[in-house]
Amino acid sequence: MKRNRRDQDRTRTRADERPLPRRKDGEVDGRTRRRTGRHVLFAARVTEAFPAVVKEIAAKEKRTIGEVLEDAVRQYRQRNKGKPHEPAP
């Protein structure tokens, strides 16, 4: 009996239960992370150290970089609730 795609998806293990494939340099390829429904590209210029810090947090917490950044914005908004926003100089 041939299985259809839906049945195959049910038999697969969850992405976060499998070990993440690593590149030759030991880094986890970001494309191997689980699907989260995020599809909008957001780019920003940051200091040299920032990407490494965000990637470290994401790896440690087994979350995507997008989830880490969204959580940071959520916490920033909660902390500054009711305060007037002042643009950077």
pLDDT tens digits, residue range 16-69?
A: 566 666 677 777 666 555 666 777 888 999 999 999 999 999 999 999 899 999
Q: Return d(Cα 12, Cα 77) in angstroms, integer.
A: 38
What's the whole-model pTM score? 0.56
Between CA 17 and CA 15 the distance in angstroms is: 5
Taking the alpha carbons of 28, 31, 34, 40 in that order, is the dihedral positive or negative? positive
pLDDT number for residue 39: 78
pLDDT bracket for residue 4 (50, 70, 90): low
